[in-house]
């Protein structure tokens, strides 16, 4: 079935327009930054278009998105866009499918066991305190830039036992590599994509040197790299060095870039809502310094964290390829199409959240919302077999950071800055969230 012969007058197909032959609606998509929202107003939360020669179904809504995420390998398959495949590497967990993906995921999950996370609290507290002390001595700083270094220090320590990772060449190459990860442009000379590919080689070389040192040493490490090198699959086979390198790149990205976005959003939301911050401070005043997060009761902070990830999820959308014809929300979706699911749209469901664009931790308070965090209307970490593998690590780090910051510091956002978000590749305040901070 070609784009030219596909008829959108059929009731069973999603509403929408293919636009021009081959080109589809690509030109309008490029020119109109409100392309998606305009189409949603016109067609509803499910519509079809054609971009760059491919029919794409845009999908929002908890049940509909949950259907996509929970039917991996049956109706849908992960689909990397742009230069993701060449930059992550063919062995990356995010690109693997079927049984291979499930077996690798099960193995990697062991690196994030509750025991390992509990033992890492002290390290996160120490790194957090060092950054708070640094920020207090600075006239002003961009929270996004600083949090990028902060999360890299924590991730590199946890994953490869590297101290002060943000001050190393590894971080320099990593930032360049990740900046091009979702770029669409081909790797032509002087492009972001080209530099990203060049620095990926340097990054892989540094990771390989660490692995080779481990292979020639009898020393043991309590980090994710040691686990990946030592772990065995169900048939007794071990991961190759090449695959280990690719998985470490993915884990660095997942434990760094997405968490940076979430923490920056938390700081922004607390800054813009002093009444909520005041309640957080009151709660923290009754909690000891550097608490055991797993043993401390912080119910209001828990709600604030959940709401912050609702209103600005660190990953707002994703693609899947349709493996088999199916129905989404009552509409027929053809094999070979792409579906573009929208987490942010799902989080703004008015039936679930009465004022969806307002920051309100009480969304997670009423009795009828007790199961909300388990429902298809709240998916900040995705869902199904591709749910974020480090979500417990992320929540631990966010809670330690928030508890330390709120209990020790006062801060203010400096005037004359743009607080709106750039959403691509990941949400971040346009001017980086320029801040002045002091310790109480």
Greater model confidence, 89 or 209: 209
Closest by CA to 392, choosing from 114, 27, 84, is 114
Report whether pLDDT(425) > 80: no
Q: Alpha helices of 188-273 — where are they, by DSSP H? A: 192-215, 224-230, 241-254, 257-272
3-class DSSP state of 411 = strand
- Give CA–CA dist 213/274, Å, rounded: 50
3-class DSSP state of 277 = helix
Q: How many CA atoms lie within 13 A of 6 on its CB side?
A: 27
Q: What is the pLDDT of residue 352?
A: 85
Q: What is the pLDDT of residue 369?
A: 56
- Give CA–CA dist 419/250, Å, rounded: 29
Binding-site residues from annotation? 388
Report whether pLDDT(336) > 70: yes
Q: Does domain 86-305+388-439 have CATH number 1.20.210.10?
A: no
Binding-site residues from annotation for heme? 388
Report whether pLDDT(73) > 50: yes
Q: How many of the other CB atoms lie within 10 Å of CB of 375?
A: 13
Q: What is the pLDDT of residue 6?
A: 42
H/E stretch holding 281: helix 274-284
Q: What is the pLDDT of residue 374?
A: 61
Q: What is the mean pLDDT of residues 54-59?
A: 94
Report whether pLDDT(422) > 90: no
Greater model confidence, 151 or 185: 151
- Give CA–CA dist 260/162, Å, rounded: 19
Q: What is the pLDDT of residue 432?
A: 95
Q: What is the pLDDT of residue 18?
A: 86
Among the ranges given (71-85, 152-166, 407-421), the one the predictor scored with the smallest mean pLDDT: 71-85
Q: What is the residue-averaged pLDDT of the chain?
A: 89
Q: Which residue has the tokens 């090449």?
A: 242
Model pTM? 0.91
Q: How would residue 377 be classed by pLDDT, with cut points 50, 70 and 90?
A: confident
Contact 194, 206 (CB under 8 A): no
3-class DSSP state of 24 = strand
Q: How would residue 282 be classed by pLDDT, with cut points 50, 70 and 90?
A: very high
Ordered by start, the domain boundaries in the chain are 86-305+388-439
Q: How many CA atoms lie within 13 A of 421 on its CB side?
A: 17
Q: What is the pLDDT of residue 1?
A: 37
Report whether pLDDT(289) > 50: yes
Report percent pLDDT > 70 for the chain. Answer: 95
DSSP string over 94-120: GG--HHHHHHHHHHHHGGG-HHHHHHT
3-class DSSP state of 311 = helix
């Amino acid at each position: 079935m070609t784009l030219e012969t596909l008829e959108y007058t059929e009731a069973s197909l999603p509403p929408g327009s293919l636009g021009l032959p081959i080109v589809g609606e690509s030109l309008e998509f490029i020119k109109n930054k409100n392309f998606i929202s305009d189409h949603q107003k016109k067609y509803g939360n499910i519509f079809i278009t054609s971009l760059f020669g491919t029919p794409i179904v845009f999908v929002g809504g908890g049940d509909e998105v949950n259907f996509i995420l929970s039917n991996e390998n049956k109706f849908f398959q992960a689909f990397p866009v742009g230069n993701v495949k060449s930059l992550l590497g063919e062995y990356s967990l995010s690109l693997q499918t079927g049984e291979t993906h499930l077996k690798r995921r099960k193995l990697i999950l062991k690196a994030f066991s509750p025991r390992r996370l509990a033992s890492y609290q002290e390290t996160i507290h120490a790194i957090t305190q060092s950054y708070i002390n640094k920020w207090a001595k600075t006239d002003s700083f961009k929270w996004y830039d600083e949090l990028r270094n902060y999360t890299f220090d924590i991730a590199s320590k946890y994953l490869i036992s590297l101290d002060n990772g943000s001050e190393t060449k590894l971080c320099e190459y990593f930032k360049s590599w990740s900046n091009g990860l979702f770029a669409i442009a081909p790797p032509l000379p002087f492009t972001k994509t080209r530099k990203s590919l060049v620095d990926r080689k340097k990054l892989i070389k540094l990771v390989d040197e660490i692995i080779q040192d481990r292979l020639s040493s009898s020393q043991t490490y309590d980090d994710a790299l040691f686990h990946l090198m030592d772990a065995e699959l169900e048939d007794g086979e071990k991961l190759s060095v090449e695959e280990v390198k690719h998985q470490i790149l993915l884990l660095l990205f997942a434990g760094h870039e997405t968490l940076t976005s979430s923490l920056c959003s938390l700081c922004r939301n607390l800054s813009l809502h002093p009444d909520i911050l005041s309640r957080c401070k009151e709660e923290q005043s009754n909690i000891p310094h550097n608490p055991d997060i797993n043993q401390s009761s912080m119910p209001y902070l828990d709600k604030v964290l959940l709401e912050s990830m609702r209103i600005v999820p660190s990953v707002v959308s994703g693609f899947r390829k349709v493996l088999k014809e199916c129905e989404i929300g009552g509409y027929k979706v053809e094999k070979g199409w792409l579906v573009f699911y929208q987490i942010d749209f799902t989080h703004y469901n008015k039936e679930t959240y009465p004022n969806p664009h307002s920051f309100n931790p009480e969304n997670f308070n009423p009795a009828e919302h007790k199961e909300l965090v388990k429902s298809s209307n709240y998916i900040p970490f995705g869902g199904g077999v591709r749910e974020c593998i480090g979500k417990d690590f992320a929540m631990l780090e966010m809670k330690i950071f928030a508890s330390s910051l709120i209990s020790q510091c006062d801060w203010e956002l400096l005037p004359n800055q743009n607080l709106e978000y750039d959403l691509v590749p990941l949400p971040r305040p346009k001017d980086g969230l320029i801040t002045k901070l002091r310790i109480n």
